[in-house]
Amino acid sequence: MKTMCHKVKKCLFSLIIVTAGTCLQLQAQSVERSLPDTAALRQAAAIIGLRFTGPELLQMQRSVADQGRNYISLRKNPIPNGRIPALVFHPAPPGFIPPAFEKPAHWPDNRSISLPSDRNELAFMTIHELAGLIRSKQITSVELTRFFLERLKRHNDSLLCVVAFTEELAMKQAEKADQEVREGKYRGQLHGIPYGVKDLMSVPGYPTTWGAGPYKDQRIDETAHVVQKLTDAGAVLIAKLTSGALAMGDVWFGGTTKNPWNLKRGSSGSSAGPASATAAGLVAFAIGTETLGSIVSPSTRCGVTGLRPTFGRVGRTGTMALSWSMDKIGPICRTAMDCAIVLDAIHGPDIHDPATTTTGFTFTPINSFKGLKIGYLEKYFNQNYQGKQNDSIALAVFREHGAKLIPVELPENFPVSAMRIILSAEAAAAFDDLTRSDRDTLLDAQGSNDWPNTFRASRFITAVEYIQANRIREELILEMNRLFSGYDLIIAPTFGGNQLTITNLTGQPCLVLPDGFDAAGNPTTISLLGNLFREDILCEAGYLYQQKTGFYRIKPTLFKQ
């Protein structure tokens, strides 16, 4: 029992009950037969912004006590983190028709790719280029896997980006990939390509720590859906990469994952390891997750290309749940085409994740922005912010190659910041047992903005307000659908205004593109936003931009060797 709950007075107990669950360290036996007094109920109501008359408070007493007993009964049933609530979120508004993709993805010919004379160059080649080397038998998957494993081991002490090396599994997968190539069985662009996954995803035989001290010895005998999809595509898993504790920030129980461009800075989070390892050339690509910026932010900090797919694009079974209506899985790569290659392999239905969709995906390179209706968030671009100069140049590149940019604005008449209680409430539910067992004290970060305090404070979010926030969310979804129905994509400053929160709430996809460096040598990015399930347009446009700029070819100096 928590110390504060040993000191809970009758009025605080009543407050806790009236606010739908709150602190779970209640002395159930001593209060089961008692009723909260009206003064306590009045204080509790004031905290949630309500006033009741004396007769109303008297009438509520028994109902509130009954609710408290119901909470106690519910808590006797353990619920695994991955159990999805019966209420499932889908971002598509009524009447929305997903695009019909009739053709498979079209990848450019890579048969002319040559093995570099300096093997260190392999570290920064794209998936598409490495795939050409493997298919033409210029290098084997075993050789490439050993190469990346050696780099991971050599540089991990500097970056702190690895939770566990999956070397034994990797070598088996690489040997199988090579055997299949010899037999003429080629699975596609990911065949034999080494990669890493954020350590929120379970892999039998290896720890799944969620980056958090209370779970550092946890092993889950389940292959995450996304890992299985990549295995089926022939990819080779070489490491489980760091996540900020319980998907927040870049601090995990082993330290702070570093930014390859500046080892004095963290890599941002929570897909800290995937972004850091990809930027440093320690993996060919990595898988991250995002709930509210966890692909976008580390991709920006580390100067890599990150794709946050439409909510429901990628199955989440076997991946730690933080927010069932906001969690998304996506690739962190060198280029937009690499992101498309990975998404092509991992998207699709997951029979254990009812939020997933059967909507198809395709990719065809383009050579001009002409014909695309492209909006841009002019108001945000006109503000003063870090990276503004690089963003202005990026917009000029789009215009130079055929884009007519149309000023647009995101809906601003919504309490977007307040709607974050959706995430807070779901996260508190996902880690209910951690809070009630007092193991939240084992987390390293214990500040007012860190998970332990957020989980505790979220007990005071009422079910009514959570539902109301989701009803407003539906209105926001309708507004965003009306906006995006008129555009193929919208360009945004990566952290401009509320766009990051809005698009995570509405499930819109986002592609983050490196667009230069600031005066201190830190990478900057620009973001492309798309309508639901239109990652194809984002990746096609993003890849053309990258072909015209080449920022993805620039390597962190400390990791060239």
Q: Mean pLDDT, to the nearest integer, of 469-474?
A: 97
DSSP 459: G
List the beta strands (DSSP E) in 471-509.
489-493
Q: What would the pLDDT profile of 297-338 be if each residue is shown by its tens digit?
A: 999 999 999 999 999 999 999 999 999 999 999 999 999 999
Weakest mean pLDDT among 24-38, 300-314, 357-371, 464-478: 24-38
Q: Is residue 218 predicted with pLDDT exceeding 50? A: yes
Q: Is residue 498 predicted with pLDDT exceeding 80? A: yes
CA distance 295 to 156: 21
Q: What is the pLDDT of residue 544?
A: 98
Q: Mean pLDDT, to the nearest integer, of 370-380?
A: 97
212 phi/psi in degrees, rounded to 5: -120, 135
pTM of the model: 0.92
Q: What is the pLDDT of residue 33?
A: 52
List the beta strands (DSSP E) in 155-257.
162-165, 194-198, 236-241, 251-252, 255-256
Q: What is the pLDDT of residue 34?
A: 82
Using pLDDT thresholds of 50, 70 and 90, give the confidence band for residue 32. very low
CA 461 to chain centre: 24
Q: Where in the chain is the domain with CATH 3.90.1300.10?
A: 119-355+366-413+468-559
Q: Is residue 416 predicted with pLDDT exceeding 60? A: yes
Q: Mean pLDDT, to the nearest integer, of 422-442?
A: 96
Q: Which long-range contacts (CB under 8 A, 24 or more apart) does 147-152 make?
A: 147/119, 147/122, 147/123, 148/123, 148/194, 148/238, 148/282, 148/283, 148/284, 149/194, 149/238, 149/239, 151/123, 151/280, 151/281, 151/282, 152/196, 152/238, 152/239, 152/277, 152/282, 152/283
Q: Mean pLDDT, to the nearest integer, of 270-280?
A: 98
Q: What is the pLDDT of residue 227?
A: 98
* Residue count of the chain: 561
| Residue 431: strand, helix, or coil | coil
Mean pLDDT, all residues of the chain: 93
Q: What would the pLDDT profile of 70-108 be if each residue is shown by its tens digit?
A: 889 989 999 999 999 999 999 999 999 988 887 889 999
Percent of the chain at pLDDT > 70 equals 94
Give the pair of three-digit tokens for residue 402. Answer: 């055929």
| Residue 114: strand, helix, or coil | coil
| Residue 290: strand, helix, or coil | strand
List the beta strands (DSSP E) in 430-529.
489-493, 510-517, 523-529
Between 3.40.309.10, 3.30.70.380, 3.90.1300.10, 3.30.930.10, what CATH number should domain 119-355+366-413+468-559 receive?
A: 3.90.1300.10
